[in-house]
Amino acid sequence: MKCKECGKELTRSYHMPICQDCYIKSSSTSENKAEKPKVNWWWPTISDRASAEEAVKVGFWAAMFVAGVTAIVATIALVSGEAVMSIKASAYLDAVLFLIIGWRIRNHSRVFSVLGLLLFIAEKAMLAKTQGSTGWFMAIFILLGFITGARGAFAYHRYKQKDPLPANA
């Protein structure tokens, strides 16, 4: 069997019909490599409707994370009968609010993306007195998620107005 690229006789049976030299040469050239765009997860670039949708998903998952953690801590507070990290069983209301906010963010709601951002900031500010600096590292990532979600929701509607999808899409 001969190499498809250079015509050299193959000494071993390869899975591909090219020799090792041709394979190495072809894999090292930049024209054969699909270059992956760099993703900035701190502040993603929103340049079209698809990237706006991806940004909205980040806001959605930030809201779902807050709702889930709040529900877990509220359950622990309910079972133990005392506040956990200054959170009482009444925090189920917050969990439900963030579930609703997340659902609406997923549907590209600008109002709910801003409400989620503001509610998260307000709750962190209220808990700062009792929790101190506990959880601020994670809160920064969640805050960036809500900001990205809001940016995505606003960008989605801006791109939707510029390039509406056909009715049968």
Checking if the pLDDT of 99 tops 70, the result is yes
| 93: containing domain | 49-162
User: Does residue 85 belong to any structural domain of this protein?
Assistant: yes
User: What are phi and psi for residue 9, nearest 5 degrees?
Assistant: -70, 130
Q: Is the residue at 142 inside a domain?
A: yes
pTM for this model (two decimals) = 0.73
Report, in angstroms and rounded to the nearest whole number, the Rg of the chain calculated over CA atoms.
Answer: 25
d(CA 15, CA 13): 7
Assess if residue 96 is contained within a domain.
Answer: yes
For 13-70, how does the pLDDT look when each residue is reduced to its tens digit (9 = 90+)?
Answer: 556 666 767 766 766 554 544 555 666 777 889 999 999 999 999 999 999 999 999 9
Assess if residue 67 is contained within a domain: yes
Name the DSSP class of 44.
-
Is the residue at 135 inside a domain?
Answer: yes
Summary count for the chain: helices (H), strands (E): 5, 0
Residue 1 in domain: no
* Intra-chain end-to-end CA distance of the chain, in Å: 49
Mean pLDDT value across residues 75-93: 89
Q: Is residue 125 domain-resident?
A: yes
Max intra-chain CA distance, the chain: 78
Encoded tokens for 116: 């989620």
In this prediction, residue 57 carries a pLDDT of 96
pLDDT for the residue 74: 93
Angle at 53 between CA 47 and CA 54, to 5 degrees: 85
Domain total of the chain: 1
Asked if residue 32 is part of any domain, the answer here is: no
Other CB atoms closer than 10 Å to residue 89's CB: what's the count? 18
